[in-house]
Every structure is written in structure tokens, then in C-alpha cells.
Amino acid sequence: MSDITGNNPLTSLDEWENDLLVRYPDSDAIAAGRDTEAYRDYESTTKDSVREFYRLQHINQTYDFVLQKKAEYLKFDRAEMTVWEAFDFLNQLIDDSDPDTDLDQLQHLLQTSEAIRNDNRPDWMVLTGLFHDLGKVLCLFGEPQWAVVGDSYPVGCAFSDKIVFSEYFKDNKDHHDPRYNTKYGIYEPNCGLENVHMTWGHDEYIYHIMKPYLPEQALYMLRYHSFYPQHREKAYSHLMTAHDHQLFKAVDLFNPYDLYSKSPVAPNWKELRPYYEDLVAKYLPATLKF
């Protein structure tokens, strides 16, 4: 996943998340006292690989592309696995080049969920922390990085200039299509985000997988945790209802755990496993369809 001339310019999927800490460095406010000193010294400028990643994302994430991927993946006919088999599958994405952690994907997600649990949040939120990045299995199904990670935003209407590297949208065909390049595009004012098509990626995928099982606050956390143009820049309030705004408080609550829970200390899975097995059994069926 390191070919900068192809569809996968990032050295790892974590490189996108690392760049978020450059763009949104308010660690003291967000981390709520957690130790952030162990993180690398992030570069003050965005890496060329991240810039290239967003160029590819902004060119290729079109309304038609999103509808195509929804039709392709939301049949959930690619695999059926237990939760733990799914995490074993996800762990194939472990990346030796990430200097922040040698942990596999499950251990990283456990750090997120354990930080949530240690703050005495509801158990459904703990489970949300555990599952929020499981949609990255899209890479293992052959999807390019720009169709898996990155900041998310609506398609089918004008791309906001608040989106990072918005200049690259000039090469997106929807930018020149009068059906899609106005403020509202195919949508109505304050139509509600449930009626809006978001860019395709791990957030959208895991949201749809978990939709039958978790409460609405959890689903907002899953679907919108990468929607930085809204929860940081307030760029799409014109599409949102009062209900959306209320539930975005849940997204704001969740994101610090996502960004700042990474640590070189591995969770003790042997001790934690009984708790998480019981928690998964409380909310989810024996197998999940992907």
C-alpha cells in the first residue's frame, strides 16, 4: 500500500489519521488528560503521500461511484464471519512501518474501547469503539485506500471549500455537473443526513453492517466519525435537521477516543476477553455478514 504513483500512496492507513493530528492539534482539550507525549513529533506540513491520497479521493469519489459501491457491498454477500474471525481478518492490515505502535488492529481498537470503558460510558459506546474501524476490511476486499479511509463528506451536491485540499475537486466530474454542483444539488434544505449519500469508505460500510444492532447514537458515531468538514468545520449544516445536530454531540464525544487512545502498551486480551465476549453477545448475532 505504498505506491505513490497508484491508488495507494499512503505508507499505511494510519498515515491519514496521523495527519488529522496535524490539522486538529488541540490535544490538551481533546485528550482530557490522556498522555499524548508518546506520539511522534508530527510534521508541521502535510506529507506528499497524504496530499496525493486526497487528490485521488477528491477526483474519484463521485455520486455514481458511491451508488455503485453501495449496490456492490450492501448485499453483504462477500463473507460471513464471527466477530472474532472478522478481527483476525482485519489483523492482516497490521503495518510494520507505523512507528506509533506495533499493535495489531484489534489491539488498537481495544485501546479505543478501553478508554471509553474507563470513562464509564455506556456499554454500547464501548462496543462502538471496538468496531469503529472494522470497515477497513474493504482494503482486504481489494478497494484502494481512497475508497476506505480519508475525511468523509456528502456527494450529490457542491463540495465545500472547507474540505481539506478542496482544490482537487476541479478534476472531479461532479464538480462540473449542474445536477450536483450547487449548494443543495439533489437534496432539499435540511433534508436530514439519513437522506444524504456520503463518500464510500470504512465509516459508511461499518455503519450499514451495524445498523440493525446498535442504538442511533452509536450509528452516528460510526457513520460520521470521519466527517470532519461538518463536526470540525460546520460546512454542511444546511443539510442537517435539529435531530442531526443533537446526535452530533455523540460524534463529538466519540472522536477524542478515536484520535488519542493509541498507546504502545498492549491491552491484556486474556483478561479482557470474557468482558468483550459477553458484550458482543449482548448486542450482536453469532456471525456478521460482510
- For the chain, what is the domain count? 1
Q: Per the structure block, which three cell numbers stand in for 122?
A: 455506556
* Mean pLDDT value of segment 161-166: 96
Q: pLDDT class for 262, splitting at 50, 70, 90?
A: confident
Q: Which residue has the higher pLDDT, 246 or 3?
A: 246
Burial grade of 286 (CB within 10 A; 0-12, 13-18, 19 or more): exposed
Cα→Cα distances 288→71, 134, 255, 280, 284, Å: 18, 12, 25, 11, 8
CA gap 254, 233 in Å, rounded: 17
pLDDT at 271: 94
Q: From the CB of residue 290, how many other CB atoms can be counted at a distance below 10 Å? A: 21
Tell me if 7 is assigned to some domain.
Answer: no
pLDDT at 99: 41
% of the chain surpassing 70 pLDDT = 87
Dihedral angle, C-alpha 77, 83, 84, 85, nearest 10 °: -10
Partners of 78 in the β-ladder: none
pLDDT at 64: 98
CA gap 198, 64 in Å, rounded: 12
Whether 254 shows a pLDDT value over 50: the answer reads yes
Q: Which residue has the higher pLDDT, 242 or 106?
A: 242
* Mean pLDDT value of segment 181-209: 98
What is the overall mean pLDDT for the chain? 88
* Mean pLDDT value of segment 93-118: 74
Tell me if 290 is assigned to some domain.
Answer: no
pLDDT at 42: 33
CA gap 207, 50 in Å, rounded: 25
Whether 100 shows a pLDDT value over 60: the answer reads no
Tell me if 2 is assigned to some domain.
Answer: no
Tell me if 6 is assigned to some domain.
Answer: no
Tell me if 8 is assigned to some domain.
Answer: no
Whether 40 shows a pLDDT value over 80: the answer reads no
* Mean pLDDT value of segment 252-281: 89
Q: What are phi and psi of 282, to 5 degrees?
A: -65, -35
Whether 267 shows a pLDDT value over 60: the answer reads yes
Q: Which domain holds residue 89?
A: 14-285
* Residues 54-68: tens digit of each pLDDT: 999 999 999 999 999
Tell me if 9 is assigned to some domain.
Answer: no
What DSSP letter does each residue of 105-118 carry, written as one string? HHHHHHHHHHHHHH
Structure pTM? 0.89
Q: From the CB of residue 79, how many other CB atoms can be counted at a distance below 10 Å? A: 15
Q: pLDDT class for 264, splitting at 50, 70, 90?
A: confident
